[in-house]
Amino acid sequence: MSENISVLGLGLMGTALAESLLAAGHQVTVWNRTPAKAEPLLARGAKQAATPEEAVAASPLVIVCLLDYQSVTSTLAGAPLSGRVVANLTTGRPAEARELAAWVAERGGEYLDGGIMAVPQMIARPGALILYSGSEPAFDRHEGALSAMAEARFTGADPGMAPLLDLAMLTGMYGQIAGLLEAAALVRSAGYPLTEFVSSLLVPWLNAMAAQQPLWAEKMASGDHSTEVSNLEINRAGVENLVRAFREQGVKPDLLLPLKAVIDQRTARGLGHEGLSGLIEEL
C-alpha cells in the first residue's frame, strides 16, 4: 500500500533510503539542508519541501537521517510533530535516543530509533537490516513501508535498544578487525602471501569459530562458565606465547594486550579452571 513518507537528510544514506521508498511506490517528500542534493530524487517522482516544517507536515511517517542527533533536534525544532511518527535512522548512542524520544513525545509525536546495519549500496537488497526500537504501535503501523528500505526488526520499547545493538554489532566487527590486523602483521613479518593467508586459512577458521558463538552466548547468559574444552589457564599460556612470538618476529602485539590483561586478571582471582566466557564478568 502506498504511503506518504517524508525523508529529511539526503546524504549518501538518506538518498538511498528515499530511492528505495520511491521504488516501492510510496509518495516521498524530501528535504535537505543543501537543496540541490534532492534533484536526482525529484526526477524519480519525489516532491521537495522548502523547509523541515513543510516536510514533516506532508507525511505521517517522517524518516530522518542526518549527521548526528544535534542536527536532528535543530532540524525538527520548529516542526509540527503532533500525530507524526519520527523514525530517526541517524547513528547515535542509547542515551541520545532516549533523550530524543522524550523530546518528540513532549511535542506529541511517536518515536522510533533505527540502527542501519548496511552501507548505502546495500539498501533495499538482501542482507540489509535496520534495527528499530521505541514505539511498537508505530512500528506495527509502518512496518510495510520500513521494510522497503531493508529488513525491519523491532527490538524493544526502550528507544535506546536499537542503537545499543547497533553499537554491539560494531563492537563485534572491530574485535574481528583487530584480530585480522594482528594476524596479518604477524604473517607479513614472515613473508607469507597475505591474500592467500586471509582467504584460504583465516576466513574458514573464523567462520568455524563464529559457529561456536551461540554456545558461548548460552554460557554467558547462564553465568555457568565451566568448560571441558579449553580453560582460562590454557588460554593464558596461549596468549602469553602469542605475545612472545609477536615480539620475536618484531611485530607489536598492541591489539592483543588488552585481552591478555583481562585473562591475567581473571586467572589471578583463581578462576583459571573456567572457560573464556567467564571474562565477561570482568567487564
Contact positions vs ligand NDP (CB under 6 A): 9-14, 32-34, 37, 65-67, 71, 74-75, 90-91, 116, 119-120
Alpha-carbon span 155 to 160, nearest angstrom: 10
Alpha-carbon span 136 to 279, nearest angstrom: 35
In the complex, residue closest to ligand NDP by CB: 11
Residue 66 CB, nearest distance to ligand NDP (Å)?
4
**What is the per-residue DSSP string for the chain?**
---EEEEE--SHHHHHHHHHHHHTT-EEEEE-SSGGGGHHHHHTTPEEPSSHHHHHHH-SEEEE--SSHHHHHHHHTTS--TT-EEEE-S---HHHHHHHHHHHHHTT-EEEEEEEES-GGGTTSTT-EEEEEE-HHHHHHHHHHHTTTSEEEE--SSTTHHHHHHHHHHHHHHHHHHHHHHHHHHHHHTT--HHHIIIIIIHHHHHHHHTTHHHHHHHHHHT----SS-BHHHHHHHHHHHHHHHHHTT---TTTHHHHHHHHHHHHTT-TTSBGGGGGGG-
Cell of 88: 530517526
Question: Which CB sits closer to ligand NDP, 67 or 210?
Answer: 67
Is residue 160 within 8 Å of residue 56, measured between CB atoms? no
Question: Which CB sits closer to ligand NDP, 161 or 185?
Answer: 161
Residue 113 CB, nearest distance to ligand NDP (Å)?
12
Residue 47 CB, nearest distance to ligand NDP (Å)?
17
Question: Which CB sits closer to ligand NDP, 85 or 118?
Answer: 118
Is residue 85 within 8 Å of residue 110, measured between CB atoms? yes
Question: Which CB sits closer to ligand NDP, 59 or 235?
Answer: 59
Residue 31 CB, nearest distance to ligand NDP (Å)?
9
Residue 37 CB, nearest distance to ligand NDP (Å)?
5
Question: Which CB sits closer to ligand NDP, 134 or 278?
Answer: 134
Residue 4 CB, nearest distance to ligand NDP (Å)?
21
Question: Which CB sits closer to ligand NDP, 75 or 135?
Answer: 75
Residue 75 CB, nearest distance to ligand NDP (Å)?
5
Question: Which CB sits closer to ligand NDP, 130 or 232?
Answer: 130
